[in-house]
A and B are shown apart, each in its own frame.
Chain A
Amino acid sequence: MSTPRLPSILPQRLETDPDSVERDLFKLVLTIIELIRQLMERQALRRVDQGDLSDEQVEALGVALMRLDQAMAELRGRYDLSVEDLNIDLGPLGPLLATDA
Chain B
Amino acid sequence: MSEPACYLYGISRHVGAADLDGIRGLGGEPVRPVESDSGLVGIVNTVDLDDFGEEALERSLQDLTWLAETAQTHHAVLCDVAARAPVAPLRLATVCLGESSVRARLDRSAADLHSSLDLISGRAEWSVKVFAEPPAPVEDLAGAASSAAPAGSGREYLARRQAQVSSRHQAAERAATVANDVYAEVSRHSSDTRRLAPQDARLTGETVPMTLNAACLVGAEDTPAFCAAVESLRGRYEQSRIEYAGPWPAYSFVSVGEP
List the interface of chain A (C-beta within 8 A of B): 3-6, 8-10, 41, 44-45, 48-49, 55, 58-66, 69-70, 73, 100-101
Given known A59-B154, A62-B155, contact A4–B202 (CB-CB < 8 A): no
CB nearest to B167 among chain A residues: A100
Question: Is B202 in contact with A63, judged by CB distance below 8 angstroms?
Answer: no
Asked whether B154 lies within 8 Å of A65 as measured between CB atoms, the reply is yes
B63 on interface, CB distance cutoff 8 Å: yes
A/B pair count, beta carbons within 8 Å? 63
Cβ contact within 8 Å between B64 and A4: yes
Instruction: Name A58's closest neighbour in chain B (CB-CB).
Output: B155
Contact with A along B157-192 (1 / 0, CB 8 A): 110011011001100100000000000000000000
Given contacts A6-B64, A8-B202, contact A63 B146 (CB under 8 A): no
Chain A positions within 8 Å of B165 at CB level: 45, 100-101
Pull 5 A–B residue pairs with CB atoms less than 8 Å apart, ordered by A: A3-B64, A9-B202, A10-B64, A63-B153, A65-B161
Q: Does B2 contact A (CB under 8 A)?
A: no
B64 near A66: Cβ-Cβ < 8 Å: no
Q: B147 to A45, Cβ gap below 8 A?
A: no
Q: Which of B65, B169, B172, B203 contacts A4 (CB 8 A)?
A: B65
Query: In this assembly, does B205 line the interface, its C-beta being within 8 Å of a C-beta of chain A?
Result: yes
Instruction: Kindly state the separation between the CA atoms of A58 and B161 in the bound complex, as whole angstroms.
Output: 13
Q: Is B258 an interface residue (CB 8 A)?
A: no
Chain A's closest residue to B152 (CB) is A66
Interface flag for B150 (CB, 8 Å): yes
Taking the complex as formed, is B156 at the interface, i.e. its CB lies under 8 A from any CB of chain A? yes
Q: Is the interface of B mostly helix, strand, loop or mixed?
A: helix
Partner of B155, one of A10, A59, A100: A59
Interface residues on B, range: 20 to 34
A76, chain B: closest CB distance, angstroms:
10
Interface centre among A6, A8, A62 (most CB of B within 10 A): A62
Besides the contacts A5-B64, A62-B156, what 15 more A-B pairs have beta carbons closer than 8 Å? A3-B65, A4-B64, A4-B65, A6-B64, A49-B162, A55-B155, A59-B154, A62-B155, A62-B157, A65-B154, A65-B157, A66-B146, A69-B146, A100-B172, A101-B165
* Residues on the B chain within 8 Å of A44, using CB: 158
Contact (Cβ within 8 A) B169 A63: no
Give B residues with C-beta under 8 Å from A. Answer: 62-65, 146-147, 150, 152-158, 161-162, 164-165, 168-169, 172, 202-203, 205
Cβ-neighbour of A58 out of B65, B147, B158, B203 (below 8 A): B158
Q: Tell me if A's interface is mostly helix, strand, loop or mixed.
A: helix
The answer to whether B158 and A45 have CB atoms under 8 Å apart is yes
* B153 contact from A3, A62, A69, A73, Cβ within 8 A: A62
Q: Which residues of A contact B150 (CB under 8 A)?
A: 66, 70
Across the interface, which residues of B come within 8 angstroms of A48, CB to CB? 158, 162
Please indicate the chain B residues that have their CB under 8 angstroms from the CB of A101 in the complex: 165
Once the chains are docked, how many angstroms separate the CA of A76 from the CA of B169?
26
Q: Would A70 and B154 count as touching, CB distance under 8 A?
A: no
A39 to B158, CA, bound (A): 14
A47 → B minimal CB distance (Å): 10
A5 to B68, alpha carbons, bound, how many Å? 12
The answer to whether A58 touches B154, judged by C-beta atoms less than 8 angstroms apart, is yes
Q: Which residues of B contact A3 (CB under 8 A)?
A: 62-65
Residues of B within 8 A of A73 (CB): 147
State A66–B156 Cα separation when bound (angstroms): 10
